[in-house]
Amino acid sequence: MHTSQATLITGASNGIGLELAKLQAQQGANLVLVARSKDKLNALKNELEAKHNISVYVVVEDLSDPTSAQRIFDNTQTHGIAINTLINNAGFGGHGKFAERNLNDELNMMQVNMATLTQLTHLYLQPMLKANTGKILNVSSTASFIPGPLQAVYYATKAYVTSFSQALSEELSDTGVTVSVLCPGAVSTGFVKAANLDGNDLWKNAKTPASVAKIAQKGMDQGKLIIFNEKALEFMLNWVTPLLPRRMLLKISRKTMEIS
Ligand SMILES: NC(=O)c1ccc[n+]([C@@H]2O[C@H](COP(=O)([O-])OP(=O)(O)OC[C@H]3O[C@@H](n4cnc5c(N)ncnc54)[C@H](OP(=O)(O)O)[C@@H]3O)[C@@H](O)[C@H]2O)c1
């Protein structure tokens, strides 16, 4: 890779991350693609390099490994790739009662959804601040606005991502670095199967990952703070759910996670 600037996308092998990679490539950005699925990433690299005049660098890492973020950073540094756009998209959920779920799965989820995202942000923020320019997009969820019985840890990890991103955005408001947080509703991706949510009603009208990525990229380019892809959900979460009695909200939230 001869070029020096690139967009790094975690979870670029599937779903929203893959669509964001395509859009970034269309804009002419060089890419660093991170995920576990080596073959999928290499196929995407070949496709995007053939279609666009860009360089794509593949990094195969399991982000549930607490040492992965530092390895990714060192890897891009060694290859002389400056990350001017960081898209922390990788993440996963898991359905079931907390007491009955495998604790390791929950801890890995917390590492991928929160800790590795935080580590990558801290690492890549330093050179961005030095250059006084950069964009960070963290992929959260509409789940971040309410507690989620039957996906308790997942909803909590996303609450962290939305809170962290907003606070960081404010801290960086006098710099050239912007932070945006994407809060999608249901999207038809590999997420549903990975979280054992097959058959859940919420995903019956799921949006396409391509449509969500388009809104996300536009919002990030504008430096928008919170990016929603569904207006009705945005209204509900901002203006209706905060007013509901807590016990009622928890019961409604639980119902949406039940599988009939
Ligand atoms: N789909 C939805 O309804 C929805 C709604 C709101 C928010 N989101 C959020 O959107 C983001 C993207 O998810 P998606 O819907 O596009 O799901 P997806 O199709 O399952 O894609 C998830 C991506 O994350 C990567 N990933 C997962 N675990 C990883 C690990 N341990 N190490 C490295 N990479 C890992 C996967 O790659 P490998 O398997 O190749 O490692 C894959 O590329 C997630 O943060 C999710 O929470 C999704």
Residue 111: φ, ψ to 5°: -65, -50
Mutate-to-test residue for ligand 1 from 64, 139, 180, 191, highest number of ligand atoms within 8 A of CB: 191
pLDDT digits (tens, 9 = 90+) for 153-203: 999 999 999 999 999 999 999 999 999 999 999 999 999 999 999 999 999
**pLDDT tens-digit series, residues 9-29:** 999 999 999 999 999 999 999
For residue 130, the tally of other CB atoms under 10 A from its CB is 10
CA 243 to ligand 1 center in whole angstroms: 31
In the chain, where do the E strands start and end? 5-10, 31-35, 56-60, 82-88, 134-139, 177-183, 226-228
**Residues forming the active site:** 154
- For 107-152, the pLDDT digits (tens) are 999 999 999 999 999 999 999 999 999 999 999 999 999 999 999 9
Residues contacting ligand 1 via CB (< 6 Å):
11-17, 35-37, 62-64, 89-92, 112, 139, 141, 184, 186-187, 189-191, 194, 209
| Tens-place pLDDT, residues 43-76 | 999 999 999 999 999 999 999 999 999 999 999 9
- Quick one: 169 exposed, middle or buried, by C-beta within 10 A (0-12, 13-18, 19+)? buried
Cα 35 to ligand 1 centre (Å): 9
Mutation to probe ligand 1, out of 23, 113, 189, 230 (largest number of atoms < 8 A from CB): 189
Query: What local confidence, expressed as pLDDT, does residue 180 receive?
Result: 98
Indicate the pLDDT class of residue 2, thresholds 50, 70 and 90: very low
Predicted TM-score (pTM) of the model is: 0.98
